């Protein structure tokens, strides 16, 4: 019998509600759910392709082990036991830090995994932790921690009420928003313009978002920091700085004014590729708009000087009085308040408490930057990574210098991947532990509900029962944590603790944690329990949990959320300051010392070198990082993995549209066809990341044939951001030539 199921797509951050017609396990159709209060029926092609993931014959359905004769299926007990034993053995011989762990992007989309990471991290006790954060949003998190006291307290553009929306280094029309959960961005931007508001885009490419914009400025990759400093200089000089009610809890205005004093538009114009007049106009427009939201994303945070740039964008929002203002950038009030829970666990943020072994890079939030991951595996000595865990990540394609990463992974003593596929990264694993697929587990989004442009809450049941003999991500992570814990426990007390945590989590399950979080959250009525937690810390949670869950509750509970399968609208963003601040003083210091120092070290802007080509990335609505290329529906047609290049540059290089170009850097070279168009700045080329699946051993049939190459084979690991050592993935200098003219690599050496 045909049934309809409501779900939330978890492929990107937009949290679109979807409506699935199905007969048991057979999916008949996937549409946007028009009753979803946030996405209002919006869906993109990836949402429809969830059925391809669900049915993909290449998706692993049971644990596999690599042997001389290839991959063989093994039982869960065997797989988990052996994994724990190997990890424990390596740590016993080489110390705790000999096991490395990397968490990829989908970890953030999987509530079960998020909830069970802590026991595994505790059981491992390694400092060799990594994640996609340092190839993505680290500078935003550093800035929110420094300014607002919490690494997850992000100001979100109040896009539905703003009059002036500036996007700098983001392309939400392709990405569907990031650290800004905003399904149906097109509709929302249209409404902005219909009510007389303006969309302004600053990007080296005329992107899909720029095409809708009222104004678009090309900017030279990596020069945003100079533009932002000049915007502030104009604002101070022309007395446009007006923080309004924020002044009551704001420090450092005088320092900031002095710091930006010399960064005049004239000084930065050539380096940015924008005129001084234009920069002045932008500063005045932002400052005089009744309500403005300046928003930046990966084009800024993965470029040169990303630490400073990310901070300056927030600073501009603050000094123009747009922080915590309706129509400006605001904080959410999420039903499951991960910000508050993070604080209970002491996870408000940290930086440079200790440094990495090989390059001395600073820790951030308990992790080292991915720019040193391969070197930590390759460089011998105490603390060398000998064993590795990858969870929902594909560092061979997503981290700088994929070939080095390949080499590093192939030299490990042991590797385990918790992943759905045998891909570029997991092919190096000894054991792969595949979790349930996207429609086989429940869906709740503690992270993305906390960064959405409206306060909403929703919990989706799985489409189908968990298939016999499969495990959810959280069960795998907990299974590993418990087994490791058992092997490590030395005292009776420690053994008791391991079993108690295991029992607690299995009894509670992912649903219990959601329920608990909702009851303790701002719409629950767990005020007293929350106060106890605040005093006693998260350690008291197990004791408190059952009391909270079994008690009578007037406020929000999981049951109430489940009764609304389309989700519950909790209203527009609301003012929250200064109460929401986590800084000790409950004030905002505009210029924390870290940024003061970083600014002293900022080099003077340089005009572009003649003939220098800078490579930037590109996202497309039919793709998602490295892992959705096994859906025929999404990859069909002409390959999108090509080199967008300006006609002037194409002419200089003697290539026409479709001809092959070879890119070279100090670490590698790739060849791809040219896409000649003036949608890109002269001197800049743009290529999407995450392609090139024909590496030996990849078992993704459609992806293998989809063509393309990985740009991270050209991006090296030495170009790191000065403060955090996070990856620079945009604005990479490369040599470009017609493939016909390229000297083969060997002969060139």
Ligand X SMILES: Nc1nc2c(c(=O)[nH]1)N[C@H]1C(S)=C(S)[C@@H](COP(=O)(O)OP(=O)(O)OC[C@H]3O[C@@H](n4cnc5c(=O)[nH]c(N)nc54)[C@H](O)[C@@H]3O)O[C@H]1N2
Terminal C-alpha separation, the chain? 66
Q: Which class for 601: exposed (0-12), middle (13-18), buried (19 or more C-beta within 10 A)?
A: exposed
Is residue 363 near ligand X by the rule CB under 6 A?
A: no
CA distance 416 to 293: 43
Q: What does the DSSP assignment read for 271-340?
A: HHTS-HHHHHHHHHHHHHSSSEEEEE-HHHHTSTTHHHHHHHHHHHHHHTT-BTSTTSEE----SS-HHH
Is residue 391 near ligand X by the rule CB under 6 A?
A: yes
Q: Which of 27, 38, 43, 335 binds ligand SF4 (CB under 6 A)?
A: 43
Name the segment binding ligand X (CB under 6 A); options: 279-287, 300-308, 313-321, 358-366.
300-308
3-class DSSP state of 115 = helix
What are 58's two structure tokens?
């290449």
Strands (E), 365-523: 387-391, 414-418, 431-432, 454-457
Is residue 14 near ligand SF4 by the rule CB under 6 A?
A: yes
Name the segment binding ligand X (CB under 6 A); options: 392-400, 455-463, 488-496, 669-677.
392-400
Is residue 132 near ligand X by the rule CB under 6 A?
A: yes
Q: Which of 644, 730, 736, 742 binds ligand X (CB under 6 A)?
A: 730
CB atoms within 10 A of CB 241: 18
Closest CA to 322 of 275, 349, 287: 287
Chain residue at closest Cβ approach to ligand SF4:
47
**591 vs 143, 258, 308, 555, 603, CA distance in Å?**
10, 11, 11, 40, 19
Find out whether 37 and 456 touch, Cβ atoms under 8 Å.
yes
Q: How far is the CB of 583 from ligand SF4 (least distance, A)?
A: 33
CA distance 368 to 376: 10
Largest Cα span, the chain: 76
Query: Torsion angle of alpha carbons 334, 438, 469, 4, nearest 10°?
Result: 90
Chain residue at closest Cβ approach to ligand X:
299
Nearer to ligand X among residue 302 and residue 348 (C-beta): 302
Helix axes 593-600, 306-319, angle to 10 degrees: 120
Nearer to ligand X among residue 422 and residue 498 (C-beta): 422
Name the segment binding ligand SF4 (CB under 6 A); options: 41-49, 113-121, 359-367, 690-698.
41-49
Is residue 46 near ligand SF4 by the rule CB under 6 A?
A: yes
Is residue 172 near ligand SF4 by the rule CB under 6 A?
A: no
Name the segment binding ligand X (CB under 6 A); options: 181-189, 549-557, 605-613, 708-716.
708-716
- Binding residues among 448-507 for ligand X as defined by CB under 6 A: 473
Q: How far is the CB of 264 from Mo ion (least distance, A)?
A: 34
Find out whether 338 and 152 touch, Cβ atoms under 8 Å.
yes
Name the segment binding ligand X (CB under 6 A); options: 192-200, 405-413, 416-424, 631-639.
416-424
Count of residues binding ligand SF4 (CB under 6 A)? 12
Q: How far is the CB of 621 from Mo ion (least distance, A)?
A: 15
Q: How far is the CB of 133 from Mo ion (least distance, A)?
A: 9
Q: Which of 9, 241, 269, 508 binds ligand SF4 (CB under 6 A)?
A: 9
* Residue 524 exposure: Cα atoms within 13 Å on the Cβ side: 27
What backbone phi and psi angles, to 5 degrees, belong to 568? -120, 130
Name the segment binding ligand X (CB under 6 A); options: 185-193, 219-227, 546-554, 647-655.
219-227
Residue keyed to tokens 């399968």? 565
Q: Which of 155, 172, 327, 328 binds ligand X (CB under 6 A)?
A: 172
- How many degrees, rounded to 5, is the angle at CA 589 between CA 585 and CA 594? 115
- How many degrees, rounded to 5, is the angle at CA 463 between CA 460 and CA 469? 115
Q: Which residues bind Mo ion (CB under 5 A)?
A: 136
Q: Which of 37, 47, 139, 170 binds ligand X (CB under 6 A)?
A: 170
Closest CA to 458 of 186, 180, 181, 185: 181
Helix axes 492-520, 111-124, angle to 10 degrees: 150
Name the segment binding ligand X (CB under 6 A); options: 147-155, 353-361, 388-396, 658-666.
388-396
Name the segment binding ligand X (CB under 6 A); options: 269-277, 391-399, 546-554, 559-567.
391-399
Is residue 303 near ligand X by the rule CB under 6 A?
A: yes
Contacted by 204, from Mo ion, ligand X, ligand SF4, none: CB < 5 to 8 Å by type: ligand X
Is residue 398 near ligand X by the rule CB under 6 A?
A: yes
- Tell me which residues touch ligand X (CB under 6 A): 12-13, 104-106, 110, 132, 135-136, 168-172, 174-176, 178, 202-205, 207, 219, 221-222, 224, 297-300, 302-303, 391-395, 398, 418-421, 423, 435, 473, 616-617, 619-621, 623-627, 689-690, 711-712, 715, 729-731
- Tell me which residues touch ligand SF4 (CB under 6 A): 9, 11-12, 14-16, 43-44, 46-47, 176, 183
């Amino acid at each position: 019998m045909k049934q309809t199921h409501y779900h939330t797509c978890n492929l990107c951050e937009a949290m679109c509600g979807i409506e699935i017609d199905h007969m048991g396990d057979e999916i008949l159709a996937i549409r946007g759910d028009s009753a979803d209060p946030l996405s209002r029926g919006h869906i993109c092609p990836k949402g429809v392709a969830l059925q391809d993931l669900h049915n993909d014959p290449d998706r692993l359905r049971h644990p596999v082990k690599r042997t001389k004769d290839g991959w063989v299926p093994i039982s869960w007990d065997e797989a988990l036991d052996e994994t724990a034993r190997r990890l424990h053995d390596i740590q016993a011989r080489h110390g705790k830090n000999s096991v490395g762990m990397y968490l990829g992007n989908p970890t953030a989309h999987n509530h079960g995994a998020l909830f069970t990471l802590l026991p595994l991290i505790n059981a491992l006790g390694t400092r060799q932790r990594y994640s996609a954060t340092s190839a993505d949003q680290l500078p935003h998190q550093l800035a929110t921690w420094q300014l607002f006291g919490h690494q997850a307290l992000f100001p979100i553009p109040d896009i539905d009420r703003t009059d002036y929306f500036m996007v700098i280094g983001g392309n939400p029309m392709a990405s569907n928003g990031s650290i800004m959960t905003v399904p149906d961005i097109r509709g929302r931007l249209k409404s902005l313009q219909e009510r007389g508001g303006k969309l302004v885009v600053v990007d080296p490419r005329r992107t899909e978002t720029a095409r809708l914009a009222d104004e678009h400025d090309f900017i030279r990759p990596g020069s945003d920091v100079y533009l932002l400093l000049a915007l502030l200089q104009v604002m101070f000089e022309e007395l446009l700085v007006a923080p309004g009610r924020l002044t009551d809890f704001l420090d450092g205005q005088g320092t900031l004014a002095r710091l930006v004093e010399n960064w005049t538009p004239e000084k930065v114009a050539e380096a940015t590729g924008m005129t001084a007049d234009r920069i002045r106009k932008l500063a005045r427009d932002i400052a005089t708009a009744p309500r403005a939201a300046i928003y930046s994303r990966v084009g800024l945070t993965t470029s040169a000087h990303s630490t400073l740039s990310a901070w300056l964008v927030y600073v501009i929002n603050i000094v123009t009085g747009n922080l915590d203002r309706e129509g400006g950038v605001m904080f959410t009030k999420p039903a499951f308040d991960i910000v508050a829970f993070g604080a209970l666990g002491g996870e408000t943020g940290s930086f440079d408490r200790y440094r990495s072994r090989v390059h001395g890079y600073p820790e951030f939030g308990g992790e080292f930057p991915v720019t040193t991951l391969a070197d930590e595996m390759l460089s011998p000595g105490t603390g060398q990574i000998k064993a590795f865990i990858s969870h929902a990540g594909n560092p061979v394609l997503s981290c700088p210098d994929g070939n080095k990463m390949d080499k590093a992974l192939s030299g490990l003593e042991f590797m385990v991947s918790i992943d759905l596929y045998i891909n570029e990264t997991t092919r190096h694993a000894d054991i792969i532990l595949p979790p349930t697929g996207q429609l086989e587990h429940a869906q709740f989004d503690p992270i993305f509900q906390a960064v959405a442009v409206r306060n909403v809450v929703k919990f989706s049941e799985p489409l189908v029962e968990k298939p016999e003999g499969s495990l959810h991500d959280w069960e795998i992570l907990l299974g590993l944590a418990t087994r490791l814990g058992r092997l490590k426990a030395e005292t009776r007390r420690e053994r008791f603790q391991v079993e108690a945590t295991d029992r607690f989590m299995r009894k509670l399950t992912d649903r219990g944690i959601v329920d608990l979080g909702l009851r303790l959250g701002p719409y629950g009525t767990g005020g007293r329990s929350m106060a106890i937690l605040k005093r006693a810390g998260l350690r008291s949670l197990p004791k408190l949990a059952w009391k909270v869950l079994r008690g009578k509750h007037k406020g929000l509970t999981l049951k109430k959320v489940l009764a609304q399968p389309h989700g519950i609208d909790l209203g527009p963003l609301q003012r929250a300051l200064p109460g929401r601040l986590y800084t000790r003083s409950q004030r905002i210091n505009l210029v924390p010392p870290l940024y003061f120092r970083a600014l002293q070290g900022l080099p003077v802007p340089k005009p572009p070198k003649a003939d220098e080509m800078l490579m930037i990335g590109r996202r497309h609505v039919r793709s998602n990082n490295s892992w959705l290329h096994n859906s025929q529906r999404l990859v069909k047609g002409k390959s999108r993995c090509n080199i967008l290049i300006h006609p002037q540059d194409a002419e200089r290089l003697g290539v026409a549209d479709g001809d092959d170009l070879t890119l070279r850097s100090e670490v590698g070279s790739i060849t791809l066809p040219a896409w000649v168009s003036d949608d890109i700045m002269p001197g800049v080329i743009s290529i999407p990341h995450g392609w090139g699946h024909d590496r030996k051993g990849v078992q993704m049939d459609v992806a293998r044939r989809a063509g393309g190459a990985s740009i991270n084979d050209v991006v090296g690991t030495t170009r790191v951001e000065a403060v955090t050592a996070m990856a620079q993935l945009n604005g990479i200098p490369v040599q470009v030539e017609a493939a016909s003219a390229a000297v083969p690599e060997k002969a060139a050496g």
